[in-house]
């Protein structure tokens, strides 16, 4: 590792796991592993240098990146103000109440009465329908911002509501690693709705709260059982801890039958304590396989379903397993033949006709991170290398020479993907190989996110022991001082 600013690099990598800060002892341990021969004296000297350069912030025994510390402090100051004055005059378009269930109506009224509120609900609980109703009921014309943490979630939201949705980064006009705390204000914005808010990071929350005026409502909508953000923060739980208005939707509107095992396992997931509480039938089945055969069995099943044209997705908690599964399924679904155009990138051989995933937002090509399509290699000569990805809705993202060489880095095979990648998407069938290898990566919210992507069936290849670990293994609470900072501010004016 480069010795220049190495402490900030290690902090940023560590905080991708969700903590806002790292303790001094833990930081030194990680630095020792990265920098050969590093002494504690040299480490402390570098701490002072990076602190003086405003790259990091030292808060007693807790070390932040300087930006994350600013985000936490700014969010705390704005949340304190909202706690002291969170009411909003409730005037609305009552026609928006039509076709809403009773709990959706209560959630709608709550959102309209407050400057900041949360609406929670599991898969299929009617959150998307409610978003459209809130926009209509608030009667704000075009003076609203509808956004989501990821490009895929934003596109899904647009497709389901017919309303224009953007990523949080795009709405703020920011790229990752830029400073979200500038002087720009949304003076005319009267409503901000963030969907898939479980994935919302501290910087996103801070950026939004820094932009809004007193005439704006903010509604965060999400599923508390899903995976949290990649990056610092536990936004939903912190806001609930601070007592912000929160309504939980309980009725299911998506799953085909409330009597089947899939619906039971998803809707009642918060109450499930072990694998014994899972129901099984044709909609949810665990097929017992050992570690050596679970992946191959999943690949064989998935390949046949892909060839049949079914809506199916293979998911895995592990990136390495995803690579192996993609190769196994590719060899069955898109068998190599003489003359087939191919190209290689990062040890992956792409073939013409492969199912691929877009891995970066690309405004010029009108695709987002998470879009899935079919790869067409139009030319594979050194003088003219060209390929495109054809999406099912007719969009085509084309990379021409010389951009096509960098375009290789913007796609991956999509026969299998990580559970994180799937968040915000839906498929008829989810196939999930679940084994005891690397069991420390098996978590409750990961298991829920995987099974709740399915509309019709979940097929698990593996062991019930692994499923049991998933259900019982709750990730440790993310380290943050946001709630503490807000309460300190409130006490100072009491």
Residue among 241, 202, 205, 198 at smallest CA distance from 221: 198
In this prediction, residue 254 carries a pLDDT of 58
Q: What is the DSSP letter of 475?
A: P
* CA–CA–CA angle 137, 85, 79 (5° rounding): 95
Separation between Cα atoms, residue 23 and residue 467, nearest integer Å: 33
Listed residue (16, 13, 11, 72) closest to 43, CA to CA = 11
Q: Are 371 and 355 in contact (CB under 8 A)?
A: no
Across the chain, which has 494 residues, the per-10-residue mean pLDDT values are 83 92 96 91 94 94 95 96 89 72 91 95 83 90 92 88 91 81 84 94 94 94 88 92 94 65 91 94 95 93 96 93 96 94 92 94 87 94 90 92 88 95 90 88 92 94 94 90 95 82
Q: Do 127 and 148 form a contact (C-beta atoms < 8 A)?
A: no
pLDDT of residue 404: 87
Q: Which residues pair with 349 in a beta bridge?
A: 344
Taking the C-alpha atoms of residue 46 and residue 21, their distance in angstroms, rounded to an integer, is 17
The pLDDT, as a whole number, for residue 156 is 87
**What DSSP element (H or E) covers 375?**
strand 372-380
Write out pLDDT tens, residues 285-332: 999 998 889 999 999 999 999 999 999 999 998 888 999 999 999 999
Q: Please give the structure tokens belonging to residue 32.
A: 């020792």
pTM over 0.85: yes
Q: Which of 254, 310, 258, 309 is nearest to 459 (CA)?
A: 310
Q: What is the pLDDT of residue 343?
A: 93
Q: What was the pLDDT predicted at 127?
A: 87
Within a 13 Å sphere around the CA of 243, how many CA atoms are in the beta-carbon half?
9
Q: What are phi and psi of 206, to 5 degrees?
A: -60, -45
DSSP H helical segments within 231-374, as ranges? 235-241, 261-267, 291-307, 319-333
pLDDT at 331: 96
pLDDT reported for residue 302: 97
457: its two tokens: 């069936």
Q: Where are the beta strands (DSSP E) in 235-371?
A: 246-249, 284-288, 312-316, 342-345, 348-351, 355-358
pLDDT of residue 24: 96
Q: How many CA atoms lie within 13 A of 346 on its CB side?
A: 10
Residues 155, 371: contact at Cβ < 8 Å?
A: yes
């Amino acid at each position: 590792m480069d010795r220049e600013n190495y402490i900030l690099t290690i902090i940023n990598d560590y905080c991708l796991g969700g903590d806002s800060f790292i303790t001094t002892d833990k930081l030194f341990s990680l630095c020792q592993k990265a920098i050969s021969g590093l002494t504690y004296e040299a480490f402390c000297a570098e701490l002072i240098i990076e602190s003086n350069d405003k790259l990091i912030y030292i808060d007693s025994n807790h070390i932040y990146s300087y930006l994350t510390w600013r985000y936490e402090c700014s969010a705390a100051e704005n949340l304190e103000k909202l706690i002291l004055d969170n009411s909003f005059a409730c005037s609305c378009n009552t026609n928006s109440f039509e076709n809403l269930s009773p709990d959706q109506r209560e959630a709608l009224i709550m959102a309209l009465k407050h400057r900041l509120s949360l609406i929670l609900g599991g898969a299929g609980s009617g959150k998307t329908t409610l978003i459209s109703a809130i926009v209509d009921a608030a009667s704000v014309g075009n003076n609203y911002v509808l956004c989501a943490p990821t490009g895929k979630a934003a596109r899904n939201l647009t497709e389901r509501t017919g309303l224009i949705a953007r990523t949080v980064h795009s709405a703020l006009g920011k790229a990752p690693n830029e400073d979200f705390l500038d002087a720009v204000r949304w003076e005319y914005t009267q409503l901000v709705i963030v969907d898939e808010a479980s994935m919302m990071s501290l910087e996103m929350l801070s950026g939004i709260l820094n932009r809004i005026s007193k005439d704006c409502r903010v509604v965060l909508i999400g599923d508390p059982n899903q995976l949290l953000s990649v990056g610092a923060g536990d936004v939903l739980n912190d806001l609930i801890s601070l007592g912000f208005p929160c309504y939980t939707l309980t009725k299911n509107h998506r799953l085909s039958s409330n009597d089947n095992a899939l619906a039971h396992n998803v809707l009642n997931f918060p109450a499930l304590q072990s694998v014994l509480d899972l129901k099984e039938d044709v909609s949810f089945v665990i097929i017992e396989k050992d570690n050596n055969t679970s992946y191959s069995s999943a690949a064989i099943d998935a390949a046949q379903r892909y060839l049949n044209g079914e809506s199916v997705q293979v998911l895995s908690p592990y990136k390495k397993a995803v690579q192996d599964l993609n190769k196994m399924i590719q060899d069955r679904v898109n068998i190599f033949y003489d003359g087939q155009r191919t190209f290689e990138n990062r040890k992956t051989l792409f073939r013409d006709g492969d199912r691929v995933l877009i891995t970066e937002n690309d405004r010029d090509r009108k695709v987002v991170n998470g879009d899935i399509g079919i790869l067409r290699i139009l030319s594979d000569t050194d003088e003219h290398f060209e390929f495109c990805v054809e999406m099912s809705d007719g969009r085509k993202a084309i990379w021409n020479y010389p951009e096509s060489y960098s375009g290789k880095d913007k796609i991956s095979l999509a026969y299998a993907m990580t559970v994180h990648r799937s968040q915000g998407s839906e498929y008829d069938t989810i196939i999930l190989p679940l084994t005891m290898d690397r069991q420390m990566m098996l978590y409750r919210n990961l298991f829920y996110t995987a099974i709740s992507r399915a509309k019709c069936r979940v097929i698990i290849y593996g062991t019930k022991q692994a499923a049991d670990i998933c259900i019982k293994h709750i990730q440790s609470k993310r380290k943050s001082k946001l709630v503490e900072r807000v309460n300190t501010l409130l006490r100072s004016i009491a």
